[in-house]
Amino acid sequence: MKRDSMSKTVIVTGGAGFIGSNFIFHINKTYPEYKVICVDKLTYAGNLSTIESLLSEEKFQLEILDICNRDGIYELFRSTQPDIVVNFAAESHVDRSIDNPEVFLETNIVGTSVLLDACRKYGVGRFHQVSTDEVYGDLPLDRPDLLFTEETPIHTSSPYSSSKAAADLLVLSYGRTYGLPVTISRCSNNYGPYHFPEKLIPLMITNALNNKSLPVYGTGENIRDWLYVEDHCRAIDLIIHNGKIGEVYNIGGNNEKSNIEIVKIICRALKKDEDLIKFVEDRKGHDLRYAIDSTKIMRQLAWRPQVEFEDGIRKTIQWYVDHQDWWKDILSGEYVKKNDWIIETKLKMER
Ligand code: NAD
Ligand code: TDX
């Protein structure tokens, strides 16, 4: 990867969550001269123990802040003058959006608009929106020839995907109307370390390790295109440094698997009986299949997924076996107390 010798200040929102934390580790390793400011509200999905090792680093700053807090965000941008903003902060779980859409509209749409306004006001050089393949809706199961391209019309199914699509449209409109230097990436399903155990892969691994049942929605035939989280992080790195302003980039693993296949792979790897699998009521509006055509980012930015699914899923399962404290603290709710403790001790001492 081409290294940019100039030091930059990068704001990463949602950095205490799954992909945001992996992205901060990636930037920290690849560009040690960069200053990273993690902005996170610490919703149920934010976990400071994930990024605890960074808190004592000189080039890392943590701001416990809601992206919807306009005054707070403006003050942060004024005082730190970021070069690049990468927006991961979001409500990200489809099932929660079906139960309670409102907070999705607040964070995913209003929050994004606050960040865009801050970028305008303080002349930020690049705003990158981390979006999702779910904005394209779904594809039929019996047409493997069809893939989402960047030209596929937006056609959302859930309150979550609708809120992400609305944010994408806002981002593009700020590019056109105000000339804001924006880019968007739309990625397929990620997996890897620090994935919150409400999502399919970590839920199945942690339930299997606890000998609990494995709830598969509907028939389990729905298909997702899985990408190892580090490959997603490398793609975003390439886009923020070399991507064309105003462009949308699809990112996918070219690795389609049905949900039931995934669950059986996990059972085999952990030597658990498939009797643990329980078919349960289907998700409302359940998207059938996602499949991404990544030709554009491969051609323009020479990105390729580097982690084969067999390796990635083996590493991921092993990570959950080796880091039981991390996810058991989440299941027990202890991580919320640990967040408070880290804020009280480490964060206050740093200041
Ligand atoms: P996550 O739920 O694990 O993390 C979200 C983080 O955002 C948490 O740390 C949370 O505390 C923080 N946050 C939520 N609301 C906030 C607010 N109002 N202000 C500040 N911080 C707030 O999510 P993830 O899976 O890491 O997803 C990150 C981004 O990537 C999201 O924008 C999501 O839409 C997108 N995405 C995810 C996937 C995937 O497979 N997980 C795939 C494609 C795109
Ligand atoms: O218990 C479950 N049983 C089950 O069968 C859960 C939690 C999920 N599923 C199914 C639903 C989906 O078909 O597994 C598939 C994956 O579900 P999730 O892990 O909830 O992911 P998905 O809905 O595909 O959305 C994910 O990818 C796109 C992320 O959560 C989004 O943030 C991202 O935009």
Per-residue pLDDT reduced to its tens digit, 62-118: 999 999 999 999 999 999 999 999 999 999 999 999 999 999 999 999 999 999 999
For 163-209, write each residue's pLDDT tens digit. 999 999 999 999 999 999 999 999 999 999 999 999 999 999 999 99
Ligand 1 center–CA 271 separation, angstroms: 31
Q: Which helix (H) or strand (E) holds 332?
A: helix 324-332
Q: What angle do CA 185, 309, 214 make, to 5 degrees?
A: 95
Backbone angles phi, psi at 27, to 5 degrees: -65, -40
Q: What angle do CA 91, 114, 171 make, to 5 degrees?
A: 80
Residue nearest to atom 4 of ligand 1 (CA): 17
92 Cβ closer than 6 Å to some ligand 1 atom: yes
Question: How is residue 33 written in tokens?
Answer: 């001269």
pTM of the model: 0.98
Q: What angle do CA 140, 306, 199 make, to 5 degrees?
A: 50
Residues ≥6 apart with Cβ < 8 Å to 48: 16, 42, 55, 62, 338, 339, 342, 343
Atom of ligand 1 at shortest distance to CA of 107? 18
223 falls in which pLDDT band (50, 70, 90)? very high
Q: What percent of the chain has pLDDT over 70?
A: 98
Tokens 């020839």 belong to residue: 145
Ligand 1 center–CA 132 separation, angstroms: 11
Query: Which of 43, 51, 195 is the best mutation target for the ligand 1 pocket, counting ligand atoms within 8 Å of the beta carbon and taking the most?
Result: 43
Q: What integer is the mean pLDDT of 264-290?
A: 98
**Beta partners for residue 35, in sequence order:** 9
Ligand showing the shortest atom-to-Cα distance for residue 20? 1
224 Cβ closer than 6 Å to some ligand 2 atom: yes
Q: Which amino acid is it at 1?
A: M
189 Cβ closer than 6 Å to some ligand 1 atom: yes
Ligand 2 center–CA 94 separation, angstroms: 7
Query: Which of 65, 92, 109, 327 is the best mutation target for the ligand 1 pocket, counting ligand atoms within 8 Å of the beta carbon and taking the most?
Result: 92
Atom of ligand 1 at shortest distance to CA of 18? 26
Question: How is residue 245 written in tokens?
Answer: 């302003």
Query: Which positions are annotated as active-site residues?
Result: 133-134, 160
Residues ≥6 apart with Cβ < 8 Å to 63: 37, 38, 39, 40, 76
Q: How far apart (Å, rounded) are the C-alpha atoms in residues 232 and 324?
A: 25
DSSP string across 174-222 = HHHHH---EEEEEE-EEESTT--TTSHHHHHHHHHHTT--EEEETTS--
For 324-350, write each residue's pLDDT tens digit. 999 999 999 999 999 999 999 877 766
CB 183 within 8 A of CB 246: yes
- So what's the pLDDT on residue 1? 44
